[in-house]
Homo-oligomer: A and B are copies of this chain.
């Protein structure tokens, strides 16, 4: 399907790749950190301008948080493919660990370095560029295309439900290309058919109303100790979450799940070298390791802060202790239910004084392997990259796939321009320039291919 029909578009992409790289650099130079409310307005204006420049209609949907930028392009057929992306990025700290400036978008050794270039501005621009090339070459698209570009993915898409509930018509599509995607160490793309759910929580324990001299510690409550003790009841050193009923709703693996785990490429040696580690958690390897990565829920300390953390010593008894906790959930764990279980657990263990702040949650979601969009993505990727992609039944990562797709019966498949060394959420985030250019071609191919399937 559509085999040599899009050669003109590939040529156009090759000729205009510098322009598209320029768009990406421009977008990456604009900070857009949702956690810190930095640069949101400038970024939405930039994204709207690109949509209009390419020939689409653009609109911002307000939410109680950052707006959703929506783009619509009419095509020949009535069918609709939608692209879910986000314009927000993670905070860039620790800044001193970056080799190149996080908002410099500099190119070194065929890699573009920037906070958000892999997650997820590279994919957003690649998809815009594919639509641009199609329209420039053909005058019109073979089917309708929609862009849904939210601004709070990195803080748990906390207001996206408002948007999705009020704009089901805007969301409606026959298939959704999800925001992310990465190449494995062997050069094969990873195509994901689902995402884990998540709860991001801050636990806060308060002691005296001010820091006091640690000489008084013999008789005054220390919130840092209480938080340590509370945390130590949540997960044991065998990595088993010890909250009662935490695992009750976890679905057992199907035969297809196990088969996909077998076929999944995970280059252990390369990963360990990249991280500077000697072994994985619990010394796992092979299928056990991959199974845990894909299908196990997690409970992660993302941050812990209390008292004096500067140079040298300060003999202080802290007045407050805070921990940021991230739970990744798998079908059919429900965020609200897990949140209640956590509260009950803390109360039962004598920690009812510890406050819980919900910083965002997502339900897990999975797309059926038999959906035509899956086949369309696989064949399009293989055509451009020359290699068969690997299938990931569910990404270890999270996104609002339930909110935007699963609850409306829209299939969602992930593919993108990142790679296994892209350092998402970490210093020196980067993508390869050639992956970006190939990514544009893959999206163009999917638009052509999927228009013939649905």
Please report A residues at the B interface, Cβ cutoff 8 Å. Answer: 34-36, 90-91, 93-94, 97, 154-156, 196, 198, 200, 207-222, 224-225, 228-229, 231-232, 235, 237, 275-277, 280-281, 284, 289, 292-293, 296, 298, 300-318, 321-322, 324, 326, 328, 350, 359-360, 395-398, 423-428
C-alpha spacing A93/B208, complex, angstroms: 16
Task: List 12 A–B pairs whose Cβ atoms lie within 8 Å, in order of A's numbering.
Answer: A90-B315, A91-B314, A198-B315, A208-B277, A214-B302, A224-B301, A225-B301, A229-B232, A300-B317, A303-B308, A303-B316, A309-B322
Q: Identify the closest chain B residue to A294 (Cβ).
A: B218
Q: Are A289 and B219 in contact (CB under 8 A)?
A: yes
* Majority SS at the chain A contact face: mixed
Q: Are B215 and A397 in contact (CB under 8 A)?
A: yes
A199 CB to closest chain B CB, in angstroms?
10
Q: Are A208 and B305 in contact (CB under 8 A)?
A: no
Contacting A314 at CB < 8 Å: which of B210, B303, B318, B350?
Answer: B303
A174 CB to closest chain B CB, in angstroms?
28
Contacting A220 at CB < 8 Å: which of B94, B281, B306?
Answer: B281
Residues of B within 8 A of A222 (CB): 300-301
Q: Are B396 and A328 in contact (CB under 8 A)?
A: no
C-alpha spacing A289/B237, complex, angstroms: 35
Q: Identify the closest chain B residue to A229 (Cβ).
A: B237
Given known A-B contacts A212-B425, A395-B215, A324 and B298 have beta carbons under 8 A apart: no
Given known A-B contacts A218-B396, A281-B218, A425 and B211 have beta carbons under 8 A apart: yes
Given known A-B contacts A218-B296, A425-B214, A307 and B310 have beta carbons under 8 A apart: no
Q: Are B427 and A219 in contact (CB under 8 A)?
A: no
A158 CB to closest chain B CB, in angstroms?
9
Apart from A224-B303, A301-B307, A303-B316, what 19 extra A-B contacts exist at CB < 8 Å? A35-B312, A35-B313, A198-B315, A210-B275, A212-B425, A213-B424, A213-B425, A218-B296, A224-B301, A225-B235, A225-B300, A228-B228, A232-B232, A300-B317, A302-B307, A302-B317, A303-B308, A303-B318, A312-B359
